[in-house]
Chain A
Amino acid sequence: MPVVIVDGTEIEIGADERLNCIEAARRAGKEIPHYCWHPGLSVVASCRMCLIETGQRDAATGKVTMVPKLVPGCQTPVKDGTVIVTESPLVTESRARVEEALLIDHPIDCPICDKAGECLLQDYHFEHGQPERRADLHAFSSRKRDVGPTVTLFVDRCIMCTRCVRFTREISGTSELMVTSRGAKEEIDVFPGHPLANKLSGNVVDLCPVGALGDKDFLYQQRVWFLKREANVCGGCSAGCSIFTEHNQDAVYRLKPRENPHVNKWWICDDGRYGWHHLHDASRILEASRRSPSPARRGNGAATPAVETVEWAEVVTKLRDDLKAAGRLAVAVSPMLTVEEAWMLCAVARSIDPQAFLAMGFVPTSGADESFPGGFTIRGEKCPNRRGVEEVLAVYGAGGRSWTDLVAHVSAGSADAAWITAGYPGPWIDTAAADAFAGLGHLVVQDLFDSPLMRLASWRLPATGFAERNGTWVNVAHRAQSFRQAIRPPAGVWPEGRLFWNMLGRRGLYDPVAVRHQIAGSSAALAALAGDMPPTGVDLRIHQLA
């Protein structure tokens, strides 16, 4: 195995690995500061923050020959015998000078900058900068301009690392951003009439190491040091991008991509990034309520049955009693539910009616898959867990049954009661489609928002959103990822998992890990869910291949 010597410490790297000095040093626990380099983008070696000293150890004699000048760590590949020096006086001075140079034209308006607290320029200045400012030149300004519907550019904060420019050229393939002018007058800009408006535009804000690119959705909303982050999975489509939900006091402020080489690499799309606002929508359904089934509902709008709010502890028993009394049960298992919730829902349904008709819930779609040059794909299937629910349905002998089958089953009069789980962030069903469910003895609808179907329901149950639940989702590529809730659901709403857990009569708090392990034992297709779940998830097919 090749050996690399980082500040005197020998580390081994893989024989086939192609690492640069920054990556190799990181393995040895040494951080080489850098601005322009990003693992997902091409190397330009222009910021010059990662300058280090390197050398080569002769394999035979052990003698080290150093390169007589500084080299950029990002541009220099390591091989067997490479010597990296990250803390020599020459390196330290060079970093201090680059940091000083970058601050010459920087407005240093940290108190009013959104990036403060997570800014590389700040962090590196404290770590590598000089205590005094020698460039006593004025000419600070703080200009800003719109570069697109999602992003504001604070022109003078920019340090010209060109990460954003390279992103639009290499990953989104849209090339909106460019560099204008020359030398110290350089600026990032867009061409007139061609704003930064692609579906991945928000990523340039994450890439920006300083506060030059501001996310309009987040601008001036919260200081970043108040934010807490929870590793989540995006529920916007079946790609299942790994994300961090950043929140404070049960309010989500922004979503950030979480690096996952198997799924989304370093990126997320704007649909996902800004797709959390429905969680805090005032029109969400927040109470469980029940109304007595009216004997004459069809064609008689005059009869308004009494609606009563039901305490959550009572839902557990009353719902079971109602459904048991109604007779034949049909259940739609929403692809928005986690694997654990779907599995428990099926168990609940079968405990009420052993012949319960189980089927996939409504699968929302929007156009075709959309791929970008950088290898990122936005899926047309706008739900996170169709594959997971399919596998669970297969366990219960209901594999392959779709929403259409369920509608047909109900329309044919083969069911006396239906339980529709939904949880979609937007409108999904119209009056005509909902009409198929009119006339049932009981209709349970569990959703985030009111809908034509919800208006027919005898049981109205609130659902929860992606950041409010625990569990596991399986994406389009069979990768299962577990996550924990970031915020509590509003107004004491029980997440689906808690309700199902209690309806199954299980004791204590809802324990998704225990359920997941139980599922893994019950199905060969889901066996990979056993054990601890790595942050980047597991591929469900690994056991089948073995």
Chain B
Amino acid sequence: MQPFKPVLLEAVGVSDGYTLASYKSRGGYAPLETTLSEKKPADVVEMVKASGLRGRGGAGFSTGLKWTFLPKDHPGPIYLCINADESEPGTFNNRILMEDDPHQVIEGIILSAYATRASTAYLYLRYEYPRSWHRLQAAIDEAYAAGYLGTNIRGSGFSLELYLHRGAAAYICGEETGLIESLEGKRAWPRIKPPFPAIEGLFRKPTVVNNIETMACVAQIARRGVDWFKSIGVPADPANPRDPGSYGPKLYCLSGHVEKPGCYEAPLGITARELIDHFGGGVWKGRRAKAVIPGGISMGLMTESELDTPLDFAGPGKVGCLGLGTAAVVVIDETVSIVDFLHNSCRFFAHESCGQCTPCREGTSWSLRLLERIKAGKGRLKDLDILLEIGSTMGMMPGSTICGLADGAAWPIKNAIKKFRGEFEDTIKRTNPSGWMVTDPVPALPIVGAH
């Protein structure tokens, strides 16, 4: 593969790379000053739109397009929320950016706030990142002191207040309307849409919610230009008019059973196999990969034979996964039981389901209990059909839930059982030799204690 010099991770390994001085020495904040003095907000929106930047938080929605959904000439406040509630298992790219190059993120935030005409921005940080919290707060203080934040930034007339908000550790707070509810001080139950946040978001005002890595990309687009950004990645598929292409560099979080796990920057479109072999030093201990999670646990599973799938926004979908997600690639080697994997996945989602919609609340919990029973040697083949039915009927796609958490919970179930059904059946037959074939309905209910 082509050699690629990291851009977003430029500061990694640089001593004191997280300081303002180091960031400025690498050319930081200069594009901000040029933009504020020479460009109009609409120009920044156009620039980001032209770059084809798609949100790095998981859904891959076009960032520039999202910004244009804000009402025109809105008199009241518009809010910018930065989603750093990075809770998807396997994902840690935002943490690297916040810890090693917080000013790159802050510059992106200022540029994005300028483009969206927001004068208040909230950075919602997950609780489990204490170092990010300290580094970000220090960087924000530095930026205020240097006049990059606050009123009348560098004499441009543009003002921005940036607040760092530390969450209380819940996966659902990463859902954008859950994040908004949590910021408002409420239980993070995702809101029903419409209205979308761009129309009615934080404090019932128009709001944009963007990911940390998206902000870093905005800063780099402003510094290096649209053409640089579009020169990286996978162009739009001309055969598919709905494919906007996957441009730019991407941070891949490689973890699991590889020799060298870590956060690596590569052009969008690198295949999973290239990533594992080139960056990860191959599957550990000389073993073979059994399955690979393409982008966080909620994206499902790729089998060994699907590893040549390009990890761009369209790639994983072609092999039955939910999407690229957060590009957190987790490698599972051949010694791992897929039943254990799915049990772990279901445990996570049963724990993190916010409990608002019935299909997700009960579906995640039921699937966990079915897998617990299979692991306890009491599984039946019929359970696999029930699991598949739960998996294929909960989520936004069938329309049975408000947010996408259930889709994320469903995909590992669907992928694992469809792609590894033989292993599930073998496990059930081996561990439950006398009862695996039972299909009887449940007999009478146990006696309930009296009141």
Task: Tell whether, in the assembled complex, residue B358 and residue A47 are in contact, meaning their CB atoms are under 8 Å apart.
Answer: yes
CB neighbours (8 Å) of B398 from chain A are 69-70
A166 → chain B, closest Cβ, in Å? 12
CB neighbours (8 Å) of B351 from chain A are 182-183
Q: Is B1 an interface residue (CB 8 A)?
A: no
CB neighbours (8 Å) of B365 from chain A are 104-105, 183-184
Task: Tell whether, in the assembled complex, residue B352 and residue A101 are in contact, meaning their CB atoms are under 8 Å apart.
Answer: no
Interface-located stretch among B27-35, B240-248, B399-407: B399-407
Chain B residue nearest to A71 (CB atoms) is B399
A18 → chain B, closest Cβ, in Å? 15
Q: Is B285 an interface residue (CB 8 A)?
A: no
Question: Which residues from 279 to 296 on chain B have a C-beta closer than 8 Å to any C-beta of chain A?
Answer: none
Question: Which residues from 367 to 418 on chain B have a C-beta closer than 8 Å to any C-beta of chain A?
Answer: 369, 373, 386, 389, 393, 397-402
CB neighbours (8 Å) of A132 from chain B are 441-442
Q: Is B354 an interface residue (CB 8 A)?
A: yes
Task: Tell whether, in the assembled complex, residue A48 and residue B442 are in contact, meaning their CB atoms are under 8 Å apart.
Answer: no
Q: Is A179 an interface residue (CB 8 A)?
A: yes
Interface-located stretch among A134-142, A449-457, A505-513, A535-543: A134-142
Task: Tell whether, in the assembled complex, residue A142 and residue B451 are in contact, meaning their CB atoms are under 8 Å apart.
Answer: yes
Q: How far is the CA of A300 from the CA of B363 in the complex (A)?
A: 82
A353 → chain B, closest Cβ, in Å? 62
Q: Is A532 an interface residue (CB 8 A)?
A: no
Task: Tell whether, in the assembled complex, residue A137 and residue B356 are in contact, meaning their CB atoms are under 8 Å apart.
Answer: no
With known contacts A48-B401, A140-B448, A182–B366 Cβ distance under 8 A? no
Task: Tell whether, in the assembled complex, residue B355 and residue A179 are in contact, meaning their CB atoms are under 8 Å apart.
Answer: yes
Give how many A-B residue pairs fall within 8 Å (CB-CB): 116
CB neighbours (8 Å) of A186 from chain B are 355, 361
Q: How far is the CA of A138 from the CA of B366 in the complex (A)?
A: 12
Task: Tell whether, in the assembled complex, residue A46 and residue B358 are in contact, meaning their CB atoms are under 8 Å apart.
Answer: yes
Task: Tell whether, in the assembled complex, residue A48 and residue B353 are in contact, meaning their CB atoms are under 8 Å apart.
Answer: no
A135 → chain B, closest Cβ, in Å? 6
CB neighbours (8 Å) of A159 from chain B are 358
Encode A260-297 as 1/0 by CB contact (under 8 A) with B.
Answer: 00000000000000000000000000000000000000
Chain B residue nearest to A141 (CB atoms) is B449
Q: What number of B residues sit within 8 Å (CB to CB) of A?
A: 39
Chain A contact-residue range equals 35 or more
With known contacts A44-B192, A45-B402, A51-B400, A184–B361 Cβ distance under 8 A? yes
Q: How far is the CA of A108 from the CA of B397 in the complex (A)?
A: 31
With known contacts A44-B192, A75-B192, A142-B448, A183–B361 Cβ distance under 8 A? yes
Question: Which residues from 105 to 136 on chain A have a C-beta closer than 8 Å to any C-beta of chain B?
Answer: 105, 107-109, 112, 132-136
A160 interface neighbour in B355, B399, B402, Cβ under 8 Å: B355
With known contacts A70-B400, A104-B366, A182-B170, A134–B442 Cβ distance under 8 A? yes
With known contacts A69-B398, A183-B353, A49–B448 Cβ distance under 8 A? no
Task: Tell whether, in the assembled complex, residue B353 and residue A182 are in contact, meaning their CB atoms are under 8 Å apart.
Answer: yes
CB neighbours (8 Å) of A104 from chain B are 362, 365-366
Task: Tell whether, in the assembled complex, residue B359 and residue A108 are in contact, meaning their CB atoms are under 8 Å apart.
Answer: no
CB neighbours (8 Å) of A97 from chain B are 359, 389, 393
CB neighbours (8 Å) of B357 from chain A are 46-48
CB neighbours (8 Å) of B170 from chain A are 182
Q: Is A98 an interface residue (CB 8 A)?
A: yes
CB neighbours (8 Å) of B189 from chain A are 44, 46
CB neighbours (8 Å) of A137 from chain B are 366, 369, 373
Question: Which residues from 65 to 120 on chain A have a C-beta closer than 8 Å to any C-beta of chain B?
Answer: 69-72, 75, 94, 97-98, 101-102, 104-105, 107-109, 112
With known contacts A44-B356, A69-B398, A71-B399, A183–B350 Cβ distance under 8 A? yes
CB neighbours (8 Å) of A105 from chain B are 362, 365
Q: Is A144 an interface residue (CB 8 A)?
A: yes
Q: Is B446 an interface residue (CB 8 A)?
A: yes
B167 → chain A, closest Cβ, in Å? 14
A183 interface neighbour in B359, B364, B448, Cβ under 8 Å: B364
Q: Is B24 an interface residue (CB 8 A)?
A: no
Q: Is B450 an interface residue (CB 8 A)?
A: yes
Chain A residue nearest to B450 (CB atoms) is A112
Chain B residue nearest to A133 (CB atoms) is B442
Task: Tell whether, in the assembled complex, residue B399 and residue A70 are in contact, meaning their CB atoms are under 8 Å apart.
Answer: yes
Q: Is B445 an interface residue (CB 8 A)?
A: yes
Task: Tell whether, in the assembled complex, residue B400 and residue A94 are in contact, meaning their CB atoms are under 8 Å apart.
Answer: yes
Task: Tell whether, in the assembled complex, residue B363 and residue A101 are in contact, meaning their CB atoms are under 8 Å apart.
Answer: yes
Q: How far is the CA of A133 from the CA of B441 in the complex (A)?
A: 6
Q: Is A43 an interface residue (CB 8 A)?
A: yes
B185 → chain A, closest Cβ, in Å? 13
Q: How far is the CA of A47 from the CA of B400 in the complex (A)?
A: 9
Task: Tell whether, in the assembled complex, residue A69 and residue B448 are in contact, meaning their CB atoms are under 8 Å apart.
Answer: no
A157 → chain B, closest Cβ, in Å? 11
Encode B430-451 as 1/0 by CB contact (under 8 A) with A.
Answer: 0000000000011001101111
28 A-B contacts, Cβ less than 8 Å apart? A46-B189, A46-B356, A46-B358, A48-B359, A48-B400, A69-B397, A69-B399, A72-B192, A98-B358, A101-B359, A101-B361, A101-B366, A102-B358, A102-B362, A104-B366, A107-B448, A108-B445, A134-B442, A135-B366, A136-B442, A137-B366, A142-B451, A181-B355, A183-B351, A183-B352, A183-B361, A184-B355, A186-B355
Given contacts A72-B192, A97-B393, A182-B353, 11 further A-B contacts (CB under 8 A): A43-B192, A45-B192, A48-B401, A51-B399, A94-B393, A101-B359, A101-B362, A105-B362, A160-B356, A160-B358, A179-B187
| Interface set of A (CB-CB < 8 Å, partner B) | 43-49, 51, 69-72, 75, 94, 97-98, 101-102, 104-105, 107-109, 112, 132-138, 140-142, 144, 159-160, 178-179, 181-186
